[in-house]
Structure 1
Amino acid sequence: MAALSSPLLGARHIQNLSAATVLEPHWGYADRAVPCTSDPGSCAYLDVVYSAHDRGMLYSGIFWSIIGAILLIWACWRHYDRPMMSPILVAPQLSGLYKIRRSFAALTNQFLLPDACRIIFGRTTRLQVLVLASLASYLLVFSFVGMSYNTWVTPVSGMANTYNTRSSIGPWADRIGVFAYALTPLSIMLSSRESFLSLITGIPYQSFNFLHRWLGYIIFVQSSLHTIGWCIVELRLYQPQPSVGIEWVTQTYIVWGIVAMILLLMLFALSTPWGIRATGYETFRKLHYVLAMVYIGACWGHWKQLKCYLWPSLIFWFLDRGARFVRTAILHYHPDRFDQSRVLSFKPAEAAITRFPDEEHGDVIRLDMENPQDIWAVGQHYYLCFQKGSIWQSHPFTPLNAPTLLQGKVKHSYIFRAKKGETKKIADLAATGIPTTPVILTGAYGEAIMENLTPDTNIICVAGGTGITYVLGVLLELAQQQAPSPDRKIELIWAIRHTSNTKWISEELSLLRKAKKDLNLKVKIFATRDSNSRPHSIEVDEPSKTFAADEDEKAVQVKPVCAASDSDVCDCPSGSVEKLGGSANSSQRHPSLHKMIPGFLQDTVRGPTTVFASGPGGMISDLRSIVASCNSGSKVWKGQERFDVSLICDDRLEW
């Protein structure tokens, strides 16, 4: 962006301040000297420069106004559009607005839930890509409209036969530079764990990570084009060269601009999958925090006239970091507990470690702890920092138990597979026989996934491996309800490698077995790499298309038969472990979700269905397509709620 900080810049910008009768202010830009006393071509160029900038500020203001209006409408919609519960009927009385909402939700799931262009966007829904496309379209259109495009050849003052070529490249580069600044606060908001957007919309903060990442790519492209545009102008079109270019590039605001561009390039490179793999996720995350703040400072040094966009960015960033610190302090500050010196102290929770050895895929670790605190909502997660590993790293884990407050304490239980890094350190610690480890908690974060469930909502939980932690809390919470709905159907589908994996949550499975009849619950567990050595009848099923299975292979599925080792886990036939595979080297089998989900819906009595899921990315992608095919907005509008199927999955898979 051009400035008036030196005589040479003033000459190039043809602003004769001494002859001006008034300095006309322009928000976010240098004041304009009025009237213009230069040659007609230069004055016409200045008209384009200032009008293009003013419109750019207007368009960025409209952009933020649209975001504000969307958030306001969203907040009102969430507040007023809730089902009215009847004291007589089990099912809610649905208002007309609620019916419209459910029909629209079914229609949205039908067309926008599946993955979109996975080779470019990864495992991301069409809805998120549509939002990104809408944002990018606005920026693309308004980067060009409202601007005159022309070229002016003007004489250089005091130099015969020397001319400057002034064009609309400069004003256009300024326009996209303004947009890059205007997008910075939104990028910070989309990355915040203590998310202001989540408070308004109810969408968990991790669901904004996709937009944050791609908005960063857009800012990088805008900043690169802004830099290239002005390099063309200052190093080629303005004369005489190279003196003009050297004078320009050595100015303070240009130096800060170069620093900002280098920092942005580093942020871009480190955020790519290659960059994250090369540095490690924790290193990438901490570098991202630091580089982002230094980048905002460099932007301030480059063009402080646009600090109206930089102040909010800094405020949101510091509020996020401060709120995280406060959350952690509250969880571990217990005023009724003193150390021997009678001084209040910060106490981490002491977690009991249970290790389940697995040499092939990495040990599974279970942590059980108690902490004096308020209860969390089912579906939320905590960040765990293992003090004996590194206090500079924390990892998100979902409690597998339903939150219950007993004598002022809440129990936490977690399971995770220890492959490398901090989790591997905990596994090594457990292998030495050490029974406990101190843990620092931060949270709870994420969505209360049972908040909008009505009594007639049918529930099917699908999990793969340790993903059972996300869905198990739902089932345990339902088991604690005093008056379960008799018409509601509930089912658990859990795919594990080996039957012995059920020991991870044997206590919780026992609780579900006791509540199975009251809940109308079916438990289906599939051991994908175990073969049943006992005589049993088998049937050949259609080839499974889920979990990226080989379509040319017949999946051999075992009818429910409980082995002796399963008796402490399940009751035949509904809770048996079906052994679908053979050895670890054989072709892996998986449950046929593309048949099981529609079959579940076909047997429902009434009401919509919610699918809770957590597991491998392939499973989530398959479920998105399956659930989308089960939805029909038109049928829901006609009263067939069976075709209103929603999917709630663990979005942390996309981190």
Structure 2
Amino acid sequence: MTPPSQSQLSARMIQNFTGESNLEPHWGYAYRVVPCQNDAGSCAYLDVVYSAHDRGMLYTGILWATILGILLVWGVVRRLSMGSDGGSRYEMPCEQENLLTGEVVTKPRSVGRLTRAMRAVGATGRRYLLSSKGMKSVFGQVTRLQVLILLVLIGYLTIWSFVGIVYAKWITPIKGQPAHIKNTRTSLGPWADRVGVLAYALTPLSILLASRESILSLITGVPYTSFMFLHRWTGHIILVQSILHTIGWVIVEARLYRPQPSVWNAFIVQSYARWGVVALVLLVLLWVGTLQWTIRRTGYEFFRKAHYVLAMVYIGAVIGHWKQLQCFLVPGLVLWFVDRGARLVRTALLHYGYIPSQGKVGFAAAQAEMKLRRDEKHGDVVRLDFEHPQRAWKVGQHFFLCFTEGSIWQSHPFTPLSWPVENGKGTVRHSYILRAKGGETKKLAKIVRDKLGALSEKAIVPTTPVILQGPYGESIAEGVTPDVNVLCVAGGTGITYVLPLLIDLLRDRHMNHGRKVELVWAIKRSEDVEWVEPEMEELRRLGAAHGLTIRIFVTDDDAAKAAPSATCCGGESSQEDDDDIKRAPRMSARRDSSTARGRPDVTAVVKHFVEGVAQGSTRVFGSGPPGMIGELRSVVADCNSGSKVWMGEDRFDVRLVCDDRLEW
């Protein structure tokens, strides 16, 4: 490392540089001149400055060691649990024959005290940390667990911001100035530097939390969307730290150091100070761009592209401000480019291959058949169907779709409606439904209408090129063993999240006939069932042998019709259920009388389901508007009871799996 020149040293801190002096290196900071040739007060101040910085660098190392240590332990425990039981948390049930009646009774296998204790602890944690009650006004639809993690991070950073600094004040003379003009040196400068160092250290963490090709998801199994809350708040923390760092040094340079305004004028024209101002302005612009007010007025795609550009320029500016700390910034840039590169590789692997129509190898988009169902009040619904050569994805994973006839610069996440399985031709069928409310989806609906109007033969189905990127996310079927009871709650197009799961469970030849499985779907109009008519018919056929209950609610008052409230596909229903749930050969729906606007009472649905469970734990799957997901979290939290699980009542071990992408 080449020692800096005298001008570079004096640009950062006034030190007496002589030919006999030595330069003492300090990682991430300016070299120190030793021995100190200043007055006693200035030397004492320099001792505090350099010791505080050295401790700050040590604390950032401890911060990252803590983060990496947690991830290491998490990853090892997850890998061991997957290796020991295939990813399942439950014992397989056993079947016993009743010698008196000849009936086969399914009973859960006994579990050890340690396993039961772990389940009880998990149920207790979910009871108090899953709900979003008390969090919505400040944090939105997030869990208490997410807020707790954020508070722990803030507390951790607060401790490292203040410890290891000697807080004092030194009045020092100024060479060449009258005796009554003196500098006031305080610990404000060292503290402001500490806060700035922590802001640098958090930058790669912020990028890591925002990555779609998430290393964190690979290690923990948590979907990348679940980290977006921490990404946003880490950005808020970095902004606050940067503002405090700037305010601290403005006070020092413009108020405490004398004479003024010459000291301030000499300070602000220096390159590192100017880059600091630029970096803070860019950071404020980044923050303003993330506000919902800004996104609504500029559009999500503008926000996303502007966010990328501003973030990269910001990182360049902070390197210009203090390049000695680029050890934190270069890894952030590497993570960002790796994420973008991995996305391109995914897309190439999905679309690059032999093109029969052209007789050569190249890049080809999938050609999706489009069907349109008009709905002027709520937005048209478009269904896409196509076959694509690839491996089958996992149930619950999603793809980003780019509709090239609309724009090649935009892609949006959609969950496939189809059950992922390879056919004999080495392809997998993709089916998607989307409601055209605005933006790219509205543009796609217009393309369908235009193509339908241009076709002279109505039998011809219009097509559109689609570029896929994915799959992303984790399997939601993992751990759903034959003794786990399943409740699926969907709103509108959220049905695409749960339908493949239900079909996957009902196709399982190890299906436990004693488990309870139910689907609750809220739709705007009764005709909306036709979006997914083939899949619902398949679900009804499979469910007839497994006691599947399907309940459909129509929420639009104008569309509500006098028809049975739900359809039960096989199985038995209680006398109370028979008043509202009627058997029918096909799906039907009417307005549910439990609420004024016809929406299902999610709280009552979940509690009634859990109370009706005979044995085994419960898994609730939800996909729909944020309000519905928030209500699901609250009721699932209330249904959990660690003490009852410990006593053997497994039905109070209730887990929630929801489509987080609809919340962010």
Same fold by TM (over 0.5)? yes
Which residues in structure 2 correspond to 1:105-184 (within 5 Å)?
A: 105-115=122-132, 116-161=134-179, 162-184=181-203
Match of 2:601? 592
Conserved 8 A contact 2:434-2:493? yes
Match of 2:10? 10
Offset from partner CA, 1:563-622 (integer Å, 9 cap, x none): xxxx6732xxxxx4232379xxx9512212222212211221211111000111111111
TM-score (norm 2): 0.89
Conserved 8 A contact 1:20-1:36? no
Displacement after TM superposition at 1:21 (Å): 4.2
Q: Does 1:577 align with 2:589?
A: yes
Question: Which of 607, 610, 625 in structure 1 is aligned with 2:634?
Answer: 625
Match of 1:644? 653
* 2-structure distance, mates of 1:317, 1:204: 18
Question: Which of 396, 401, 404 in structure 2 is aligned with 1:384?
Answer: 401
* 1-structure distance, mates of 2:12, 2:501: 67
* 2-structure distance, mates of 1:231, 1:37: 26
Conserved 8 A contact 1:401-1:476? no
* 1-structure distance, mates of 2:490, 2:303: 29
Deviates more, 1:261-270 or 1:424-433: 424-433
Give the direction of change, closer, same or farther, for the CA distance of 1:86–1:271 in structure 2 (3 Å limit): closer
Query: Unpaired runs of 5+ in structure 2?
Result: 96-107, 453-461, 567-577
Conserved 8 A contact 1:527-1:581? no
Offset from partner CA, 1:243-300 (integer Å, 9 cap, x none): 2211111111111111111110100100111121121111001111111111111111
Give the direction of change, closer, same or farther, for the CA distance of 1:284–1:626 in structure 2 (3 Å limit): same
Deviates more, 1:210-219 or 1:108-117: 108-117
* 1-structure distance, mates of 2:176, 2:91: 86
Conserved 8 A contact 1:20-1:34? no
Paired AA for residue 300 in structure 1: I
Displacement after TM superposition at 1:240 (Å): 1.9
Displacement after TM superposition at 1:338 (Å): 5.1
TM-score (norm 1): 0.90
Paired AA for residue 474 in structure 2: E
Paired AA for residue 479 in structure 1: L
Q: Does 1:517 align with 2:544?
A: yes
Question: Which of 209, 218, 225 in structure 2 is aligned with 1:206?
Answer: 225
Conserved 8 A contact 1:74-1:201? yes
Query: Secondary structure of 1:78's partner?
Result: helix
Question: Which of 373, 380, 395 in structure 2 is aligned with 1:356?
Answer: 373
Displacement after TM superposition at 1:100 (Å): 3.6
Give the direction of change, closer, same or farther, for the CA distance of 1:311–1:370 in structure 2 (3 Å limit): same
Give the direction of change, closer, same or farther, for the CA distance of 1:533–1:437 in structure 2 (3 Å limit): closer
Give the direction of change, closer, same or farther, for the CA distance of 1:260–1:385 in structure 2 (3 Å limit): same
* 2-structure distance, mates of 1:12, 1:508: 68
Query: Secondary structure of 1:18's partner?
Result: coil
* 1-structure distance, mates of 2:565, 2:540: 25
Deviates more, 1:631-640 or 1:610-619: 631-640
Q: Does 1:608 align with 2:617?
A: yes
Query: Secondary structure of 2:243's partner?
Result: helix
Query: Secondary structure of 1:246's partner?
Result: helix
Paired AA for residue 376 in structure 1: W
Offset from partner CA, 1:477-499 (integer Å, 9 cap, x none): 11221231122111000011211
Query: Secondary structure of 2:590's partner?
Result: strand
Question: Which of 306, 309, 319 in structure 1 is aligned with 2:338?
Answer: 319
Displacement after TM superposition at 1:16 (Å): 2.0
Give the direction of change, closer, same or farther, for the CA distance of 1:248–1:8 in structure 2 (3 Å limit): farther
Which residues in structure 2 correspond to 1:42-121 (within 5 Å)?
A: 42-82=42-82, 84=85, 89=94, 94=111, 97-115=114-132, 116-121=134-139
Query: Secondary structure of 2:282's partner?
Result: helix
Aligned length: 621
Query: Unpaired runs of 5+ in structure 1?
Result: 539-556, 571-575
* 1-structure distance, mates of 2:436, 2:375: 10
Paired AA for residue 230 in structure 2: L
Conserved 8 A contact 2:552-2:565? no
Match of 1:401? 418
Offset from partner CA, 1:530-564 (integer Å, 9 cap, x none): 576659999xxxxxxxxxxxxxxxxxx983458xx
Match of 2:309? 290
Conserved 8 A contact 2:553-2:565? no
Query: Secondary structure of 1:396's partner?
Result: strand
* 2-structure distance, mates of 1:141, 1:395: 40
Offset from partner CA, 1:602-649 (integer Å, 9 cap, x none): 221211111000111111111111000100112212222111001111
